[in-house]
A and B are shown apart, each in its own frame.
Chain A
Amino acid sequence: EARRKRIQNRRAKSQRKAKLTIEEEEDEDEDEDKAPRGRGRRKRPKPIDSDQDEEDEDKGKRQTATRRGRTTSKKKSDKEDSNDESGKEKGSRRQTRGKAASKTQKEDSSDSHNSDSENEEDQLSEGEIEALKEQVEEKKKLIATLRNKPWRMKKRLIILKEAQEFVEKFEGALGKGKGRKLYAFKIMMAKKFIKFKRDFENFKTACIPWERKIKEVESHFGSSVASYFLFLRWMYGLNLILFGLMFGLVVLPEVMMGLPYGSIPRKTVPRAEQETAMDYSVLFDFGGYAKYSFMFYGYYNNERTVGVLKFRLPLSYLLTGVGIFGYSLMVVIRMMARNSNEGGDGGDEGQFTFSWKMFTSWDFLIGNPETADNKYASITTSFKESIVDEQENQKDENIHLRRFLRVLANFMILCCLGGSGYLIYFVVKRSQDFAKLDPRSLTWFQKNEVEFVMSLLGLVCPPLFETIAELEDYHPRIALKWQLGRIFALFLGNLYTFLFALFDEVNAKMLDEKAVKNATEWAYQEYYANYSSFHNTTDVPPLNIPPADVVRGPCWETAVGIEFVKLTVSDVQVTFLTILVGDFARAVIVRFLNYCWCWDLEAGFPSYAEFDISGNVLGLVFNQGMIWMGVFYAPGLMGVNVLRLLTSMYFQCWAVMSSNVPHERVFKASRSNNFYMALLLLVLFLSLLPVIYSIMTLPPSFDCGPFSGQDRMYDVVLETISRDLPAFIGNILTYASNPGLIMPAILLMVLAIYYLNTVSKGYQQANTDLKKKMQMARDEEKNRRNNKDSTNQMMKDLEDLLPDKSLFKPQVQEKPPTEKGSKPTKMKPGTAGVNLHKEVSLASPNPRGPVSRGPGPRGGPPGNAMGPQPGPGRGRGRGRGAPPPRR
């Protein structure tokens, strides 16, 4: 029968071959419609031969498919190989012919099996396209994630090559019909785009400045000091962008397209000041020409549009001022989100104290022997500390005394804070009195009192706090947190007192201004009246006074801007001086006086300074806060700040490398960078408040600045809406700003916050529950393990009691069913424990063996004799279907 089939098969084959040639001719005609598809398919056989491992699945499928058709028709195995090959060939050819082949096959009813299989193949290839597509996608994904795989570089390169080749080969093939060219084009563009993106990324990393400087600092001082410099660099980047915004949208248009200097009063130095306007001392206080330059608010003109471009400067001024806040907020929050994603969540600090100490305390950045020594020492101490902590849970000797001391310390610090606040208020008030006097009769100190006192407070108070904190006797880490909090409070208090004092001044100035304004208006009216009555005409020519002589108001905005700029500059001076004196001079003295001194200066009392991370970070944050506040009134402040950050980067890098020593004990205040960011966010918010307040409520000066002549600053926006935008947008905005709409919106937001809060609480709850569960599971496991150990021991004892039986029998029985015999024998001695039961139940296929021929082995020897070659009878017992047909 088999032979007949073989013959039949061969006949069919030859028939088919003949047909194929015919089909080929037919195909020529049909080629035009099916060309894309055919080409796509013709490509497929190639990988089957070349990339074997890639195509294993496909090949397997196809082979099973062909074999399914064939095994029914023939069973001789010696022919199988050749048939298989030819079949495959055929199969692939058939596939290339696609529908043409199947069409003709309907006529061919001689060999139903084969046609069946062919149909199947056809369908399969349809599915295969899908599969192939999937594979290509997979490969692409693989390429994208390759760098995250923990493989060796060589392996990664090889895999990458393979994957790329694969993708290249099949990507083109997958497109169908006329869309194929477009598809190929798309692919090409995508590739180009990816390459461009990569190059751009490279360019970006190449542009990051100070990489080497920071690396140097890192290797000397470890990651904590370096984190300050990273923060500084980030800050510099942020400020550069803000500077670009301010400069490009406000300063540059006014300078390039606005009226030149000297054309209108606000851009001219008044006659009275002109003599001293170029004096260095005046310029240094930002008076004279500096006061009437583009650095400050007052310089900007209130023309609606400037230049040929019709640039709306006032609007741009307002939007940029507000936009700077918006952009900063966005960047800070985004940075925070990224940090919190990257850094560990650290939710449960107590859980892994020792593990973290063990595995993350070494700083891989360290590349300096001295720092390494310090690190070793600090790690050792920290281990010892936590061991001690672990061993004795905090013994409290005199808790009352300590409590008293802590309260006392806090009281003293509160006094300090209050005192410093009052001092600042007092000084600002006094400076207002001074301002009314003739500036030439004042000394330098009297002029710069406010800045001087503020800087001095910032300099003196932190060490004072530190000294007071000695009383409290906290753990260093907690002490550091307190210290940070107190310094923060100090700075914040000072800043806000300064602000309130400034507002007083602003109010006074506004009164002045009102008087001036009334006087001017009155004078104008007089002039008009006189002129018209004198010349008897209503056509009055405008008054022609040189801009330097025009009477003008005090322009409080510029005054505020000057205050902030002065504050920033004096802050820079104080910082640099502190570094020079406190760090550099100290280092020089210690280093060179050590040769002729009675004790060891380097190891003893003065020693070298350590880099004060927290102080520096706080200083930077508050400086930034001042910039944010002041930039609205002094657009040039941004430039000053960029310069400041630039110089301080170089200067501090130099100072830290030349005159500081690595920390002996480093206690990080925060879990991650997010601490700094949170501070920054807080300060940003706090500096946002006064600016927004002044924009929304204070009337701008009548004769200076881009908003002069308007009631409120934001009127610019309203004006633009009503005059430049189409009416319906104005309508929409009026509706949107209707209280009836805003109230529900706020309500909605509150609800959303409430909802999200609840959800997050729920997640937290679930989290802790899961943690608890895990802990419980762990404990249970532990207990079980312990119990099991003991039962095992018991069982072993029991086994020992039955020596011969248990040793002999397994040998007899184990050979035929390999792993299966051992357990029943264990059962036999087993009056065993609970655990044994479990083990038996785990080995599920087991029971059938011993039951079916339970008594058998007791007969022993015959089974053993049969053991080496399992006879057919034994094989029948196991349900293995495959081998018999082969035979």
Chain B
Amino acid sequence: MGNKQSIFTAQQLDAYQVVKCFCRLSRLFYRYRDLAPQLVPLDYTKQPDVKLPYELIGSMPELKDNPFRQRIAEVFSEDGEGNMSLDDFLDMFSVLSEMAPRDLKAYYAFKIYDFNNDDFICKSDLEKTLNKLTRSELTEDEVKMVCEKVMDEADLDNDGRLSLEDFQHMIVRAPDFLSTFHIRI
């Protein structure tokens, strides 16, 4: 408890509590700090501007085997290049926590799969996703076919790409989405 107080002010704590989806704040903070003890100060009352590079974030055991780790870091970092401040870090794990609501998760999942950041999941995004999932072990024809099938299934307005609505419509029905799209920390 004493530690907590010295890292954040009471108000900060309060604010984080309201905003965040789950509450293991101090634990998350130490995880963050352990990535680079020399960079991150122990005192966050003055809100120092510290960012950890992607190399450090991506090497966390929770992320290092994830094929989408780069995308995750990019989506949640403010600069879009995977360098994360503490706020971004908290953001990431609050969205990926168990308590986060499904719509929020779906929104960020959409962002993660949208590799070229154009707010639509188009064919190239699908191909990238598929190649990451299978380590490019499918032949080109197979990849093409799968992508076509996905488009066929999920693209409700037939514009040849998945919008956020399409994606949400599809993903909220998925039985495994909530159980697999989370990281316990």
A and B from one assembly? Answer: yes
Q: A residues engaging B (CB < 8 A)?
A: 143, 146-150, 152-154, 156-157, 160-161, 195, 198, 201-202, 205-206, 211, 214-215, 218-219, 223, 227, 342-348, 351-356, 358-369, 371-372, 376, 379-380, 383-384, 387, 390, 668, 671-672, 774, 778, 781-782, 785
Chain A residues with CB below 8 A from B129, complex form: 358-359
Chain A residues with CB below 8 A from B133, complex form: 358, 361-362, 376, 379-380, 383
Q: Does A353 lie within 8 Å of B153, measured CB to CB?
A: yes
- In the complex with contacts A342-B102, A354-B150, A367-B179 CB distance below 8 A: no
Q: Does B104 lie within 8 Å of A148, measured CB to CB?
A: yes
Q: Does A148 lie within 8 Å of B171, measured CB to CB?
A: no
- In the complex with contacts A146-B19, A152-B87, A380-B138, A367-B150 CB distance below 8 A: no
Chain A residues with CB below 8 A from B175, complex form: 343-344, 346, 356, 671-672
A659 CA / B20 CA spacing, docked (Å):
38
Chain A residues with CB below 8 A from B180, complex form: 223, 360-365
A211 CA / B130 CA spacing, docked (Å):
32
A371 CA / B145 CA spacing, docked (Å):
27
A368 CA / B108 CA spacing, docked (Å):
24
Please name 20 pairs of A and B residues whose Cβ atoms are closer than 8 Å in the assembled complex, sorted by A: A148-B101, A152-B78, A157-B16, A215-B184, A219-B61, A342-B102, A343-B175, A346-B173, A352-B154, A355-B170, A359-B109, A359-B167, A359-B174, A360-B181, A361-B180, A369-B65, A379-B133, A387-B142, A390-B149, A668-B176
Q: B residues engaging A (CB < 8 A)?
A: 14-24, 61-68, 78, 87-88, 90-91, 94, 96, 101-104, 107-109, 113, 126, 129-130, 133-135, 137-138, 142, 145-146, 149-150, 153-154, 156-158, 167, 170-185
A198 CA / B10 CA spacing, docked (Å):
14
Chain A residues with CB below 8 A from B113, complex form: 359
- In the complex with contacts A359-B109, A384-B138, A778-B158, A150-B174 CB distance below 8 A: no
- CB < 8 Å: which of B20, B138, B145, B173 contacts A345? B173
Chain A residues with CB below 8 A from B64, complex form: 367
- CB < 8 Å: which of B20, B90, B107, B158 contacts A781? B158
Chain B residues with CB below 8 A from A358, complex form: 126, 129-130, 133, 146, 150
- CB < 8 Å: which of A195, A227, A355, A387 contacts B179? A227
Chain A residues with CB below 8 A from B158, complex form: 778, 781-782, 785
Chain A residues with CB below 8 A from B107, complex form: 150
A369 CA / B66 CA spacing, docked (Å):
9
- In the complex with contacts A150-B107, A211-B184, A342-B102, A205-B18 CB distance below 8 A: no
- CB < 8 Å: which of B22, B62, B177 contacts A367? B62
Q: Does B18 lie within 8 Å of A146, measured CB to CB?
A: yes
- CB < 8 Å: which of A346, A347, A367 contacts B65? A367
A380 CA / B185 CA spacing, docked (Å):
28
Cross-chain pair count, CB within 8 angstroms: 184
Q: Does B156 lie within 8 Å of A380, measured CB to CB?
A: no
Q: Does B145 lie within 8 Å of A387, measured CB to CB?
A: yes
- CB < 8 Å: which of B20, B91, B178 contacts A152? B91
Q: Does B18 lie within 8 Å of A143, measured CB to CB?
A: yes
Chain A residues with CB below 8 A from B153, complex form: 351-355
List 14 additional A-B contacts (Cβ < 8 Å) besides A202-B23, A352-B154, A361-B133: A152-B78, A205-B23, A219-B61, A344-B174, A353-B149, A355-B153, A360-B181, A361-B180, A362-B67, A365-B183, A367-B65, A383-B133, A387-B142, A387-B145
Q: Does B134 lie within 8 Å of A383, measured CB to CB?
A: yes
A715 CA / B10 CA spacing, docked (Å):
59
SS class, residues of chain A in contact with chain B: helix
Which residue of A has the minimal Cβ distance to B76?
A152
Among B21, B62, B175, max chain A CB count under 10 A is at B175
Q: Does A364 lie within 8 Å of B181, measured CB to CB?
A: yes
- Distance in Å: Cβ of A202 to nearest Cβ of chain B: 5
Q: Does A356 lie within 8 Å of B19, measured CB to CB?
A: no
- In the complex with contacts A353-B153, A376-B135, A671-B175, A147-B18 CB distance below 8 A: yes
- Distance in Å: Cβ of B163 to nearest Cβ of chain A: 14
- CB < 8 Å: which of B87, B108, B174, B176 contacts A153? B87
- Distance in Å: Cβ of B109 to nearest Cβ of chain A: 7
- Distance in Å: Cβ of A227 to nearest Cβ of chain B: 7
- Distance in Å: Cβ of A191 to nearest Cβ of chain B: 11
Q: Does A218 lie within 8 Å of B184, measured CB to CB?
A: yes
Which residue of B has the minimal Cβ distance to A783?
B158
Which residue of B has the minimal Cβ distance to A198?
B17
A668 CA / B180 CA spacing, docked (Å):
13
Q: Does A214 lie within 8 Å of B18, measured CB to CB?
A: no
- Distance in Å: Cβ of A778 to nearest Cβ of chain B: 6
Chain B residues with CB below 8 A from A149, complex form: 104
Chain B residues with CB below 8 A from A360, complex form: 171, 174, 176-177, 180-181
A166 CA / B154 CA spacing, docked (Å):
43
- Distance in Å: Cβ of A393 to nearest Cβ of chain B: 15
- Distance in Å: Cβ of B35 to nearest Cβ of chain A: 15
- Distance in Å: Cβ of B31 to nearest Cβ of chain A: 12
Q: Does A147 lie within 8 Å of B20, measured CB to CB?
A: yes
Chain B residues with CB below 8 A from A223, complex form: 176, 179-180
Q: Does B15 lie within 8 Å of A383, measured CB to CB?
A: no
- In the complex with contacts A148-B103, A202-B23, A214-B150 CB distance below 8 A: no
Q: Does A365 lie within 8 Å of B182, measured CB to CB?
A: yes
A154 CA / B177 CA spacing, docked (Å):
27
- CB < 8 Å: which of B88, B108, B157, B173 contacts A352? B173
A785 CA / B159 CA spacing, docked (Å):
9
Which residue of B has the minimal Cβ distance to A372?
B65
